[in-house]
């Protein structure tokens, strides 16, 4: 079983958005191979309208180019990207996504896929800010088993 197959088996009912792409970084890639139901809810689209497309469809006017450049550099370097992006739903509403994206490697080290964990966050009001992570909080918090595993893996740093 590949890492991708394992994730597909576990991710379906997870409350956090999970999306897996192929390893092609250059446009028109990466292509979405799998998205769970929570990802469909996050981006406001049917899964059938997500799979087969590039994740760039969520971007819009207020999506910061500098953050996308950092994202792209992380993908090229085969490193994790953790950041916050303004994205848009199919109906045009804007949301802020916290994105934790990692390469999935074959046994020989080759990158086979990228996986991203995504959730909506809102700006914290009236709290001291130490880092970007301190500036936002998730719109909902879950305590299911998979979220516990993700927390143990430091996904989002604090799920």
Ligand X SMILES: Cc1cc2nc3c(=O)[nH]c(=O)nc-3n(C[C@H](O)[C@H](O)[C@H](O)COP(=O)(O)O)c2cc1C
Give contact residues for ligand X (rule: CB under 6 A): 19, 21, 27, 30, 54-56, 58-59, 63, 68, 71-72, 75, 85, 87, 97, 99, 101, 114-116, 118
Tokens (6 digits) for 95: 């949301």
* Residue closer to ligand X, measured from CB, 7 or 101: 101
* Residue closer to ligand X, measured from CB, 116 or 147: 116
- The alpha-helical segments, DSSP class H, found in 1-159 are 3-11, 37-43, 65-77, 132-135, 145-152
Q: Return phi, psi of residue 118, to 5°.
A: -135, 140
Q: Return phi, psi of residue 17, to 5°.
A: -65, 130
* Residue closer to ligand X, measured from CB, 17 or 146: 17
The least CB distance from residue 54 to ligand X, in Å, is 6
* Residue closer to ligand X, measured from CB, 40 or 55: 55
The least CB distance from residue 21 to ligand X, in Å, is 4
The least CB distance from residue 33 to ligand X, in Å, is 9
The least CB distance from residue 140 to ligand X, in Å, is 17
**Closest-CA residue to 119 (of 17, 10, 3, 31):** 17
* Residue closer to ligand X, measured from CB, 38 or 99: 99
Q: Return the CA Rg of the chain.
A: 15
Q: Return phi, psi of residue 12, to 5°.
A: -50, -50
The least CB distance from residue 127 to ligand X, in Å, is 26
Between the alpha carbon of residue 3 and those of residues 101, 115, 150, the distances in Å are: 14, 10, 15
């Amino acid at each position: 079983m590949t890492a991708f197959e394992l994730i597909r088996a576990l991710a379906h009912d997870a409350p956090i958005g999970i999306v897996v792409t192929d390893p092609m970084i250059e446009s028109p890639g990466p292509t979405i191979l799998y998205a769970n139901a929570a990802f469909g809810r996050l981006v406001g689209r049917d899964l059938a309208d997500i799979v087969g497309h590039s994740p760039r469809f969520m971007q819009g006017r207020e999506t910061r180019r500098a953050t996308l450049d950092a994202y792209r550099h992380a993908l090229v370097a085969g490193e994790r990207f953790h950041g916050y992006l303004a994205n848009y739903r199919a109906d045009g509403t804007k949301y802020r996504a916290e994105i934790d994206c990692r390469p999935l490697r074959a046994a020989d080290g080759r990158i086979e896929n990228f996986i991203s964990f995504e959730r909506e966050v809102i700006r914290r009001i009236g709290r001291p800010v130490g880092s970007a992570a301190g500036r936002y909080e998730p719109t909902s918090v879950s305590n299911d088993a998979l979220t516990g595993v993700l927390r143990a893996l430091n996904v989002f740093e604090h799920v």
